[in-house]
Amino acid sequence: PHIIIARTDHPVSHEVVEKIALFCDVDQEAVVPLETTDLLYAVPIILEDLGIGDYIVEHLKLEPRTPDLASWRSMVTRMRSAREAEPVRIGIVGKYVELHDAYMSVKEAAFHAASAANRRLEIEWIHSGDLEKGKQWEVMETLDGMIVPGGFGYRGVEGKIMAARFARERKIPYLGICLGMQTMCIEFARNVLGLEDANSSEFNESTPNAIIDLMLEQRSITDMGGTMRLGLYPCDIKEGSVAARVYDVAQVRERHRHRFEFNNDFRAAFEENGMVFSGLSPDGQLVEIAELSDHPYMIGSQFHPEFRSRPNNPHPLFQGLIDAAIAFRESRQQKNKTTQSSGELVE
């Protein structure tokens, strides 16, 4: 190796650095002890401060230059200070919550947005299957907002549909991603349009009301391996929508991984009852974003916005969720204070 980064939980003495350099036949300057830090995003700054950038430049015989890390340092400072700020409690309602790393990108995207808003992110992990069994509803009552992320297979889907109904009826800010958007639409069809047997053909091939169905180009495919709608695609944003407000651009490009889409046979009925399809493919055929017109922030995306979030540039849909969750929390606190004051006056 040319450089050795030595991960450690404790300080490393100069003698140990010398020994590593000797036995690995590298310069002492090329041995960089990297102690465990309180924040992952601080690692680039730590490495730069330890001189690894200068060593690489010298080794590759490049022109010396000083990186501008001012904005990154500011971001790290903001993230650390947010730990002492007011919390915002977000529920992640998923099928794989036993292993939090399954939703690492979603969790980090929410963290990016919460830190940018100077709020301490509190995550509540909620198994959608538990909701089906009547469990964890007391936790749902405490949420300021919720995320229903993607997934495959029928297990836990009814719980996600129940979560979408809870968010819609309680006006709790909601972000549905991929399957989370689809379950949001199924819930709307069942409980607003009155289509009690509405479903996705992924879960019930014989449903007469397949709100979510295979894309046309997918229906003739028998070997499903590697045949998804995969990668970066453009999406046109509807003017005047919540999506337009948070994105502040007319077209975005987002990353996809799916083969089921909203069934356009139901588009008119949805729109007549308050659903806004605020993001469409450029040809107008594929629903990319759906949102409720009479809800402060209930929005679903067929794509995966978490993959385009950055620590110093939170994704607009996540930032919109966090901002709405903060407003929801503050409104609830104000109502509680008013109720408490009224009770004291009565006494």
Task: Give dist(CA 76, CA 56) in Å, integer.
Answer: 24
For the question of residue 217 being annotated catalytic, the response is no
Q: Which of 256, 258, 295, 304 is catalytic?
A: 304
| Core vs surface per residue 168-193: b (16+ CB within 10 A) or e | beebbbbbbbbbbbbbbbbbbbbbbb
Q: Which of 158, 178, 187, 295 is catalytic?
A: 178
For the question of residue 86 being annotated catalytic, the response is no
Name every residue whose Cβ is closer than 8 Å to that of residue 331 and which is 6 or more positions away in sequence. none
Task: Give dist(CA 248, CA 25) in Å, integer.
Answer: 54
For the question of residue 304 being annotated catalytic, the response is yes
Q: Which of 108, 202, 261, 306 is catalytic?
A: 306
Task: Give dist(CA 175, CA 179) in Å, integer.
Answer: 11
Task: Give dist(CA 314, CA 308) in Å, integer.
Answer: 8
Task: Give dist(CA 279, CA 282) in Å, integer.
Answer: 9
Q: Tokens standing for 322?
A: 């966090």
Residues 148/160, Cβ–Cβ less than 8 Å: yes
Task: Give dist(CA 226, CA 32) in Å, integer.
Answer: 41
- Residues assigned a catalytic role: 178, 304, 306
